[in-house]
Amino acid sequence: MLKALHAKQDVQLIIGLMVGVLFGFLLQKGGVTKYDVIMGQLLLTDFTVAKVMLTAIVTGKIGVHLLKSLGKAELHPKPGSFGSTVIGGLLFGIGFGILGYCPGTMAGAVGQGSLDALFGGIVGLLIGVGLFSELYPVLEKRILNKGDFGDLTFPRWFKVNHWVLIIPLAAGIIALLIWIET
């Protein structure tokens, strides 16, 4: 682990910016900052978004777990619960379907000149997260912890080495992508 580098806060902000620049460049080149491409995916007529995401997952999954095996990275799986993950996920999906951008691709859409993203989506998103911060104390007490399963990962759940899951899952995703292409 590059702990000394991780601790340098100002350098980290610059790394964050650089990773973002490359991420935004790739998203735009992939076409996934475009409303038409994202809605094509949600209408199941254009599978570009799935191809980008699934390829990223396979590559990242192998790479990050290799780094972990080498002692160069630690995992940070997000905690979840049925009350937060399922309800929040479905709400997110509904908003995603109405808007046609997600938070990251929307920042990219603004960069390519999409004014509906800049003046509509971003404004709405900021209002939405603001409303959530108001609702948070009540939601946390009543809903967010219902059916909590913590930061569980599949290898820990099934009590197997992570490679036992990564290799078949990667093979399955590649088979799925080949099937989409043909």
CB of 168 to other proteins, least distance (A): 12
What part of residues 76-105 is at the interface with other proteins (CB under 8 A)? 76-81, 84-100, 102-105
Whose Cβ is closer to other proteins: residue 152's or residue 171's?
Answer: 152
- How many residues of this chain interact with other proteins, rule: CB under 8 A? 125
Cβ atoms of 117 and 100 closer than 8 Å: no
Query: What is the C-alpha to C-alpha distance for residues 64 and 151, in angstroms, rounded to an integer?
Result: 17
Site string for other proteins, 46-65 (x = CB under 8 A): --x--xxxxxxxxxxx-xx-
Which residues, 6 or more positions from 133, have their beta carbon under 8 angstroms from its beta carbon?
none
The single residue among 1, 171, 175, 176 that binds other proteins, judged by CB under 8 A, is 1
Query: What is the C-alpha to C-alpha distance for residues 145 and 142, in angstroms, rounded to an integer?
Result: 7
Q: Please report whether residue 113 would count as binding other proteins according to CB under 8 A.
A: yes
Q: Please report whether residue 126 would count as binding other proteins according to CB under 8 A.
A: yes
CB of 164 to other proteins, least distance (A): 11
Q: Please report whether residue 73 would count as binding other proteins according to CB under 8 A.
A: yes
Q: Tokens in use for 50?
A: 């799935």
Q: Please report whether residue 122 would count as binding other proteins according to CB under 8 A.
A: yes
The single residue among 146, 149, 171, 175 that binds other proteins, judged by CB under 8 A, is 149
Query: What is the C-alpha to C-alpha distance for residues 152 and 79, in angstroms, rounded to an integer?
Result: 7
119-152 exposure pattern, b = at least 16 Cβ within 10 A, e = fewer: eebbeebeeeeeeeeeeeeebeeebbeeeeeeee
Q: Please report whether residue 164 would count as binding other proteins according to CB under 8 A.
A: no
Give me the DSSP letters along 87-101.
Answer: HHHHHHHHHHHHHS-
CB of 162 to other proteins, least distance (A): 7
